[in-house]
Chains A and B, each alone.
Chain A
């Protein structure tokens, strides 16, 4: 389906600028997100990292008066082309949010398959297969396989977040976006999510926004530092956190500001 070669980045962003009305929230961002790797986005509050993440699956369009210029290609395909439906983009680029939000009126199994069902899949055995697959990938299968019909909200916070991850994975996206997925969780649950991410990156491209630099240092391969809507520095994680090139990055990482 895609024109991907082994070297094609999962997401190639060129000169991306986003405006919410008059204010320019992102300024000429150009970056390559590598496939099958974890890219962390760090920066102080209000630097545009969440907006950047949402522009990758066209979710920023939910904000009224949102406007973008620039080019974003998903494995070579322009996701902002005129004939592309944003709904289709969002099936290829999944998203997990900061606060876990399993649908309260649905059971665990129903939550996992809701995206598939509402996009037309009917075959019961196929749905079950995908459910098991997704829950296994989200390291949740063993914990819930005996109560798939229990309400999703009966799970603990960490389990709910993994359920949301399973829900996103069930759509078999190519890229998984994560907006501070563990910030509302306790350290044990956070560790489970981080382990999960390390497993997932074997098959998925992951972009994670985090304000926890130790987390970025632990799990990401490359890190991008945003400040006031600009991409200040982007590079191998180990280098960013031991010897960044830009003074701004150094100051932020050592906590001198932000």
Chain B
């Protein structure tokens, strides 16, 4: 089945393009939030539009490949690509949500809080980059290493949420801004989840083992 090799390569390239756009979108969104940069926030919206378009293209190539009935590692590659593509599209959406929060927050004075938000954001973005990197290099060990890091992001999310809740209980006029921040952190937590999903798919691709929904070692 030599003839599907070119299409498999095309599919991989397209997914990598989509991945890089997703990383850029998340990066920009976080920076726009932390540096209160409205222009950056606006750019994220167009990033997301590109990601949505790429999702359609990736799916089209994948379906087309499936009609050729690929087998074994080729089959795993196509199905994994479709799953990762779905996750990346959601990542784009979450980045857009973060950017939306950033625009809202930059219109008002910042809250007087010292949150661990930049750290959480960095961890989530790092996870995404590591998972996608593992996909490109077909590195199963690196992918497995990404999975437990989701717990750290969850833990940070909990801390930030409780800090924000405390703040809201004490400062009633800070509530809208605090809620916006909570939306943003929830998106970050979701981005980390998607990164974990992508890592699990990479493990399946490399090892043919489905490790979803199992307790991490």
Which residues does A use to contact B, with CB under 8 Å?
213-214, 217, 241-244, 249-250, 253-256
Question: Within 8 Å of chain A (Cβ to Cβ): is B2?
Answer: yes
**CB-CB nearest in chain A for B79:** A242
Q: Are A254's CB and B76's CB within 8 A? A: no
Question: Given A255-B1, A255-B2 in contact, is the A241-B73 Cβ separation under 8 Å?
Answer: no
Residue-wise, chain B 45-80 has the 8 Å CB interface mask toward A (1 for contact) of: 000000000000000000000000111111110000
Known: A254-B1, A255-B2. A243 touches B71 (CB 8 A): no
Does B208 lie at the interface of the complex (its beta carbon under 8 Å from any beta carbon of A)?
A: yes
Q: Provide a sorted-by-A list of 20 A–B residue pairs whose CB atoms are within 8 angstroms.
A: A213-B71, A217-B71, A241-B72, A241-B75, A242-B71, A242-B208, A243-B73, A243-B76, A243-B208, A244-B72, A249-B72, A250-B72, A254-B71, A254-B72, A254-B73, A254-B74, A255-B1, A255-B2, A255-B4, A256-B2
Bound complex: CA A20 to CA B73 (Å): 37
Given A242-B72, A254-B74: 18 more A-B contacts, CB < 8 Å: A241-B71, A241-B72, A241-B75, A242-B71, A242-B75, A242-B208, A243-B72, A243-B76, A244-B72, A250-B72, A250-B73, A254-B1, A254-B71, A254-B72, A254-B73, A255-B1, A255-B4, A256-B2
| Chain A residues with CB below 8 A from B4, complex form | 255
Contacts of B2 in A (CB 8 A): 255-256
Residue interface bits B175-211, CB-to-A below 8 A is 1, else 0 = 0000000000000000000000000000000001000
- Residues of B within 8 Å of A249, CB to CB, are 72
Residues of B close to A255: CB separation below 8 A: 1-2, 4
B71: chain A residues at CB < 8 Å are 213, 217, 241-242, 253-254
Nearest CB in chain A to that of B8: its residue: A254
CA separation between A249 and B208, bound complex, in Å?
15
Chain A residues, CB < 8 A from B69: 214
- A-B pair count, CB < 8 Å, reads 31
Q: Among the interface residues B4, B76, B208, which one has the most CB atoms of the partner chain A within 10 A?
A: B208
B73 contacts across to A, CB distance below 8 A? 243, 250, 254
Give the distance in Å from the alpha carbon of A243 to the alpha carbon of B69 in the complex: 15
Q: Which residue of A lies closest to B77 (CB)?
A: A254
B79 CB to closest chain A CB, in angstroms?
Answer: 9
State in angstroms the CA–CA spacing of A214 and B71 once bound together. Answer: 9
A214 closest partner in B (C-beta): B69
Which residues of B, 1-26, contact A by the 8 Å Cβ criterion? 1-2, 4
State in angstroms the CA–CA spacing of A254 and B76 once bound together.
11
Q: Which 5 pairs show the lowest CB-CB distances between chains A and B?
A: A255-B1, A243-B208, A253-B71, A253-B72, A241-B71
Distance, CA A30 to CA B215, complexed state (A): 39
CA A253 to CA B1, docked complex, whole Å: 9
CA distance A249 to B76 in the complex (A): 15
The interface centre, meaning the residue of B1, B71, B73 with most chain A CB atoms within 10 A of its CB, is B71
- Assembled-state Cα–Cα distance A250/B70 (Å): 12
* Beta-carbon nearest neighbor of B4 in chain A: A255
In the bound complex, residues from chain A placing their C-beta under 8 Å from that of B70 are: 254
* Inter-chain contacts of B208 with A (CB < 8 A): 242-243
- In the assembled complex, the CB of B77 is this many whole angstroms from the nearest CB of chain A, namely 10
Complex Cα–Cα for A242 and B70 (A): 9
